[in-house]
Structure 1
Amino acid sequence: MKADRNQAVKHKGVSYAKWGYIFLIPFFVTYLIFSFVPLISTFYNSFFENYMSGLKHIGPNFVGFENFKTIFNGDLLKYISNTIIIWLMGFIPQIIFSLLLAVWFTDLRLRLKATGFFKTIIYMPNLIMAAAFSMLFYALFSDRGPINNILMNIGFLKEEFRFMTSVWATRGLISGMNFLMWFGNTTIILMSGIMGIDTSLFESAAIDGANSLKIFTKITIPTIRPILIFVFITSMIGGIQMFDIPQILTNGKGTPNRSTMTLIMFLNNHLFSKNYGLAGALSVILFVVTSILSIAVFATMTKGITKKKGGK
């Protein structure tokens, strides 16, 4: 009897596993067609000379690592620094503001009303297209736009300030738009992590005399550390892939003086000029850099967690 039952359970387990693999087939087929094959194709094309010269098509001719040398001998480091600076200018205030809002919204002692309404409001900018956001900011901060008019009317400025010709003003506008678009999404993610913490931990800490700052630093932050790792890595990848906002705001030129030219804008220039070899080489570099940074960030931020588990 017992043997028959074990055999039935085993048969059912094999059946479940089979259906699990069947349901995974669409994902793997989609990944194979739209991700894996293009990835291999990009690596392949990065070793070939393949571009348009007027109406004449040159290549594809195998050139080895010449495309990579050309990329590194150019202004790649400048575009990397631009991307990092703009990302950090948006991410640092974003994570601080999102953490504060997440803690505020999830604090049961405050008994806040209409939290659902405020959550919806802060998330709404994430639903707006980046192109619309860029055009809005371009109109607001243009030389004769509303912002300049307001600042001049209140006496803060004597003459129009040309935001689009100032390096840090343009970078500030781009990072500000990224902040406005994504802080709501980050707040919701952090809230989900904080709401998963056992409330008895907060109550015990409060009874022991811990103040709000100590509870935040000793309980909240360590507990939601995996969520913070996820937010940091996804934001970093998003920062490396920054394109639409600076592309539209600066008309694809990275003005002033290419100080807002990001890596993907640089890649898009090669695609626009149909220099597929250099575009492939730059794509491979971006892939490698993103992978290394993601692994390094993950290893660094999970180091303490791994040690604690090992100690147990």
Structure 2
Amino acid sequence: MKSSNAKKRKHVSYTKWGYIFLIPFFLVYFIFSFIPMISTFYYSFFENYMSGLNVIGPKFVGFDNFVKLFTEADLLKYTENTLIMWVLGFVPQIAVSLLLAAWFTNTRLKLRCSGFFKTVIYMPNLIMASAFSMLFFTLFSNNGPINMLLMDAGIFKEPCHFMSITLGARSLIASMNFLMWFGNTTILLMAGMMGIDVALFEAAEVDGATSFQVFSKITMPLLKPIMAYVMITSLIGGLQMFDLPQILTNGKGGPDRTTMTLIMYLNNHLFSKNYGMAGALSVVIFIITGALSIVVFKLLTDQKEAR
């Protein structure tokens, strides 16, 4: 009896320390994220703006701010702009990332210097968005090197105004998003592929399956959780697109506001100190983001297989 009691006394539970170490995170989240989020919801129902040096409000107006967003503002147009530019950048991003991830994780290829190439493709993610925007603005300006090369090659007789064409401006923004994030997506997909049991690939090879059959029947179905994570995080980042189009178009969203994103429109309200409309727009963006994320998650998560 004494020996058992001694063992019980010597046993130390470390469970509480896990909760203690989580306290700083929850405190920071509660102070800097949760409280501002609740405040945004609250003030979205108030009229609160600057008129010259005078502060109007805060005055409770109910859903008037939301009604103005959908009637007076081009909210649907800005949502469409944001989603189009995200899709234009994400489709090539996921295609190239899947190809590179399958290439790097294929042990039969015995690639040399793979670590070097992984570092190189990830490096654009470390460059600031402002630097990327200024670089593309310089390259594709009317007197930039891209126009000079195209005219010297005889493709164009005069400079192409990339920034003045809707497709040109949107394609530049989508290209920058692709270059900045395909390396990060490749690393995530590689981690998912390396977590797949090698025995499955060996069994498929013994059965005579082709590389395409292995990729489509084994790799892709088992990558669904990672793909869901990649698509949802990319969608959230796409809906929050701001710095690239803001700098490239000088905050005007040209041509004809076809590159004006939701966050750029939100920034205009914050700049004009129309906090009521800014709060209402933030709530709408939150709802759009949540709804689209749920749709993507449902589409990529096969509940029947899970059962």
TM-score calculated relative to the size of structure 2: 0.96
Q: Of residues 26, 42, 45 in structure 2, which corresponds to 1:28? A: 26
Q: Distance in 2 between the 1:162 and 1:293 partners?
A: 34
Q: Deviations over 1:191-240 (max 9, x none)?
A: 01111111121111111110010000001101111000000000000000
The structural deviation recorded for 1:16 is 1.9
Structure 1 residues 1-312: aligned runs within 5 Å: 1=1, 4=5, 7=8, 12=12, 15-73=13-71, 74-302=73-301, 304=302, 306-310=303-307
Change (3 A) 1:109 1:50: same
The structural deviation recorded for 1:6 is 8.5
Q: Distance in 2 between the 1:257 and 1:187 partners?
A: 35
Q: Distance in 2 between the 1:18 and 1:185 partners?
A: 35
Q: Distance in 2 between the 1:98 and 1:50 partners?
A: 45
The structural deviation recorded for 1:85 is 0.3
Give the match's secondary structure for 2:55. Answer: strand
Gaps of at least 5 residues in structure 2 are none
Q: Deviations over 1:76-108 (max 9, x none)?
A: 000000000000000000000000000001100
Gaps of at least 5 residues in structure 1 are none
2:129 maps to a residue whose letter is A
Aligned length: 305
Give the match's secondary structure for 1:182. Answer: helix
Between the two proteins, what is the percent identity of the paired residues? 64
The structural deviation recorded for 1:298 is 1.4
The structural deviation recorded for 1:3 is 6.4
User: What's the Cα RMSD here?
Assistant: 1.4
Give the match's secondary structure for 1:71. Answer: helix
Q: Distance in 2 between the 1:228 and 1:124 partners?
A: 22
Q: Distance in 2 between the 1:208 and 1:42 partners?
A: 58
1:263 maps to a residue whose letter is L
Q: Is the 8 A contact 2:227 2:300 kept in 1?
A: no
TM-score calculated relative to the size of structure 1: 0.95
